[in-house]
Structure 1
Amino acid sequence: MDLPALRCFQVVARYEHISRAAEELRVAQPSVSRTISRLEAELGVRLFDRRGRRIHLNEHGASFLRRVDRALRELDDGLRELADAAERNRRVTLAAETLLTVTALLVRFRDAHPGIEVRLRQSSADSMARRLRAREVDLCVASQPLVGPGLVSELLLREEVLLAVPDGHRLAGRDAVPLSALEGEPLVSPSRGHWQRVLADRLFARAGVEPVVVCEGDEPGAVVSLVAAGLGVALLPAMARASEIRGPLSWVRIAEPGCHRELRLVRDGGAPHSTAARLFAAFAADHFRTVGATATATPAGAAARAGAGAGTTA
């Protein structure tokens, strides 16, 4: 039994799918199958139940996985501590729901600390806690609460969420509107599970308004451009006003309580953190303090207009 075999088992157990595990491990599928078969032969028990081409972690596999996770986590923590002591750990791995939220942060951090490598993983809120526990990432930037034992979060930014409408829309130029004013309005939104959709669903349900979702998908960065093109309206964070957009756009406040998002930096409080990760965390806190101050200084009701730039949202 060796470490590569245990790490292979860990990934296969997570996906319960040989080909997906092979893709993540970047090895051939037959190699993964042989590794699992050898491990089971060495242990003397089956770790997975085979049903046709599908595999499922059985009770022996689930029990073994808990111990493998614990052992590999301890080993990885030890390796990080030693690398940090030798000043060789010059890497930080970050997960974020939307990469555009952290783009400016990464550019500034790279300029300030060119010797530190930052690896970025786009992740759903559901997968972030697992990635932290598995030590796949050092830090997460999340707009939704992450639940899990030992997770520690720091508030980076609390910003207003605004209504974006095409220029010339009946609500354009208004300082604030109630959600009832959006009854029947076509809504452009990310898919369910994304923080913007979670917030929109909660606010609309509380107000008793039925939104008409005309466009939803997994590219939140395209929402601004779709609104500017006249496809509908959208709820967007205040920082999206700073983005360049395709065509004119107007921003209106929502006259309802709770129309904001909290962006948090989350880490596993039980994991050792490298100097690089600590530097990044401190830098992120300072960066978003500046972003928050800038957003507060910009009038929310002002219409935003720009030329043919790339649409973005956070």
Structure 2
Amino acid sequence: MDLLQLRYFQAVARREHLSQTAAELRVAQPSLSRAIARLEADLGVPLFDRAGRGLRLNRFGAGFLQRVDRALRELDDARRELADAAGLEHGSVAVAAETLLTLTGMLIEFRAAHPGVAIRLYQSSAEGMAKQLHTGEVDLCFASQPLSGPDLRTRELLREEVLLAVPPGHRLAGRESVPMDELVGEPFVTTRPGYWPRELADRLFAAAGLRPEYTCECDEPGATGDLIGSGLGIGLVPGMSRRVATHSPVVYARLATPDCYRSLTAVWRGDAYSSAAARRLTEFAGEYFHRAFPVTSATARPSSP
């Protein structure tokens, strides 16, 4: 077996779909199939159960994947250590976030300050980010809700109020504060489960003993303002949107309920090597959000990975 076969196996094991994995890796599907077949022949056992065109990791594959993840993580850590020894100008960092729009301004400034650092970005749900950290696919996540997993370290970057946004002319427009019971029956724009706006909305409605009327669910939290502005309904948006909004006009109000806020945190694995690029990006993000949003950003002195 060779290193390329192991990386192919790892990628196929994550997706359990050959054509999707081939497209992600930008290789021909027959080549990917042959690489997996050769690996299984070398090992002497099948790693996947096959049903038609589908694949499912079997017990041999699941056990082998744990070892492969560990071995490839060690090799990637060694590569990062060598890059660190060469300096930040040769570093790289893989990042995941629920919405990349929150990071746009910060990344523009970071790349200007560190043009040699290669950055790879993923947009993922909370569950997806936790898996990516576990497998070592990403070095750092920017999350607005807790991630599950062993030995995860966090650093709060921003704590801000979450506001109710309504279209202009809506019956709630112009109100300074709105109680939760006035949202009953209103078409509500939010995200699918797994993203922080949906988790917050579910929690607030449940705490009030109310049932929401979700009529629009998307995978991009940053699109909520545009959807609300177009008249599709009302919804929750972070306070920073009020200052940097580029979406259609909306009217904001406070919700008369406690704990209506979001906390943006940097999350990384405490038991894995953290590269200089990842450490610097974490520090830079803390400095950026404290400077750009001084009223709402975290005030505690941050700690580095």
TM-score above 0.5: yes
Matches of 1:67 and 1:147, distance apart in 2: 21
Please list, as runs of the form range in 1=range in 2, the aligned pairs for 1:70-89 lying within 5 A after superposition. Answer: 70-87=70-87, 89=90
Match of 1:68 in 2: 68
For 2:303, the equivalent position in structure 1 comes to none
Q: Which residue number in structure 2 is paired with residue 310 of structure 1?
A: none
Per-residue deviation, 1:213? 1.9
User: In the superposition, relative to structure 1, how do residues 153 and 44 fare at CA in structure 2: closer, same or farther (>3 Å)?
Assistant: same
Q: Which runs of 5+ in 1 are unaligned?
A: 297-314
Matched, 1:150 2:151: yes
Aligned residue for 1:14?
Answer: 14
Letter in 2 for 1:252: A
CA-atom RMSD, angstroms? Answer: 1.7
Counterpart check, 1:130 vs 2:118: no
Does 1:194 pair with 2:191? no
- What secondary structure, in the 3-state scheme, does the structure 2 residue paired with 1:270 have? coil
Secondary structure (helix, strand or coil) at the match of 2:90 reads: coil
Go from structure 1 to structure 2 and tell me whether the alpha carbon gap of 1:156 and 1:244 turns closer, same or farther (over 3 Å shift).
closer
Number of residues paired by the alignment?
A: 296
Q: Where does residue 253 of structure 1 map in the other structure?
A: 254
Please report the TM-score for the alignment, with normalisation by the length of structure 2.
0.91
Instruction: Determine the structure 1 residue equivalent to 2:51.
Output: 51
Whether the aligned pair in 1 keeps the contact of 2:191 and 2:217 (CA below 8 Å) is yes
Cα deviation for residue 5 of structure 1 reads: 0.7
1:156-215 Cα distance to aligned partner (Å, 9 max, x none): 111111101122322222221110111111211122221101110111111122222222
Runs of 4+ aligned structure 1 residues displaced above 6 Å come to none
Query: What is the rounded CA distance, in whole Å, between the counterparts of 2:140 and 2:124 in structure 1?
Result: 12
Instruction: Give, as a single letter, the amino acid of the residue that structure 2 aligns with 1:98.
Output: T
Q: 1:247 to 1:40 in 2, by over 3 A?
A: closer
More off after superposition, 43-52 vs 239-248: 239-248
1:252-276 residue CA offsets vs partner (Å, 9 max, x unmatched): 1111111111111001112222222
Q: TM-score, normalised by structure 1?
A: 0.89
Unaligned runs of 5+ in 2: 298-305
3-state DSSP of counterpart to 2:294: helix
8 Å contact from structure 1 (residues 228, 245) kept in 2: no
Q: 1:51 corresponds to which letter in structure 2? A: A
The answer on whether the counterparts of 2:190 and 2:216 sit within 8 Å (CA) in structure 1 is yes
Amino acid at match of 2:244: S
Deviation of 1:247 after TM superposition, in Å, equals: 4.9
SS of equivalent to 2:96? strand
Deviation at residue 112 of structure 1 after TM alignment: 2.4
